[in-house]
Structure formats: C-alpha cells, structure tokens
Amino acid sequence: MSDNHGNTPAAWTAVTVAMLGFVVGAVGLMLDPISWVILWVGIALGVGAFVLFLVMAKLGYHESTH
C-alpha cells in the first residue's frame, strides 16, 4: 500500500470528476421521462475519470512528492 493513501492530485481530480458524473447521471434518471442523453453523459464522465486518473498518474501526479 502506498504511503500517501490516495491523497494526490491525480486521485482528488479523478474522484471529483467521478462524483460529477454520478450527479449528472442521477439527474438524468430523475427527470420524467428519463433523459437517456444526460444519463450517458454522466456515465461517460465516470469512465473519463478513470482515464484521467491513469493519464495523471503517468505524468507523475500520483506520487507523494506533489
């Protein structure tokens, strides 16, 4: 296990974008009728958060020195 416990810029950014994706997706589900476009935008944001984390980790933002 790493010493930083996820307290890195890459982790915080990915979690923030993923939370935004969950909120957008939830709003799409609560609309009447369900807005499939908004739901899929939320899902895309969730997947994008994982990709963003991988890119930022490769750039060195997932190290305890930052």
Q: Would you state the pLDDT for residue 63? A: 82
pLDDT in tens, 6-65: 689 999 999 999 999 999 999 999 999 999 999 999 999 999 999 999 999 999 998 866
Query: In the structure encoding, which two tokens stand for residue 29, read together?
Result: 């589900």
**Which amino acid is located at 28 in the chain?**
G
Q: What is the rounded distance in angstroms from the CA atom of residue 63 to the CA atom of residue 8?
A: 7
Kind plus residue range of the DSSP H or E element containing 33: none
Q: ∠ CA(54), CA(48), CA(41), 5° rounding?
A: 175
| CB half-sphere exposure, 12, CA atoms < 13 A | 7
By the 8 A CB rule, do 53 and 10 touch?
yes
pLDDT recorded at residue 65: 60
